[in-house]
Amino acid sequence: AGIDHVACQYPAHARRFAALGVAVDRFSVTGNVKFDAELPAGLAARATALRARYGLGSAPVWIAASTHVGEESLVLEAHRAIRARLPGTRLILVPRHATRADAVAALCMTAGVSLGRFSAPSSSDTRAEVLLVDAMGVLLEHYALAMAAFVGGSLVPAGGHNPIEPAQLGIPVAMGPHVHNFADVVDYFEEADSPIP
């Protein structure tokens, strides 16, 4: 039984099938369906409500999302350096696993940064240097608050996480060197001169 047709996500995949001997007329490049996702209705309103809740005003905000053990300390160092150059900058920190929130909060406290938590709204959130998102299902509206994003799982050998969501919002995306889970997406963005450095 031969292959009738191969639908490839990226041109690089098509080249691999061609190298394996699949005839050119038996494959096509369909793209990644994650690029086809539309931003949900009401996203802007939810982001506006969060901006008010956190008291962000016009403060510069960046987000470090889907972070893993070993990355948060590096993110906090980067945040300290950013605040030295751009005082008042706020960080939204979103661990990959919400179950790690207490450990990440302790790390923030040890680092001496003021902390607000998504799950425990407080009037002090408006002054918090770091806003810890310790819940599932609210990442996109937090991305919408940021002017730049770091996508985690990429400074440690976890393979990285999806950079498409922040890029869809038009914000620059940074990732570390460990992006093998999304290498094709990163390559695509780099070839397209998109917002991933």
Domains of the chain, each with CATH number or no CATH? 6-31 (no CATH), 43-191 (3.40.50.2000)
Tokens 């995306």, residue located: 173
* pLDDT tens by residue, 80-129: 999 999 999 999 999 999 999 999 999 999 999 999 999 999 988 899 99
Phi, psi (degrees; rounded to nearest 5) at 117: -125, 135
Phi-psi region of 153 (alpha: psi -120 to 50; beta: other; left: phi over 0): left
What is the structure's pLDDT at 195? 59
* Both structure tokens of 155: 């400074």
Query: What distance in Å separates the CA atoms of residue 37 and residue 164, rounded to the nearest whole number?
Result: 10
Phi, psi (degrees; rounded to nearest 5) at 111: -75, -10
If one counts every other C-beta atom within 10 angstroms of the C-beta of residue 192, the result is 10
Q: Is the pTM of this model over 0.85?
A: yes
192 Cβ neighbours under 8 A, 6+ residues apart: none
Q: Check whether 13 has a pLDDT greater than 90.
A: no
Confirm if 125 and 56 have CB atoms less than 8 A apart: no
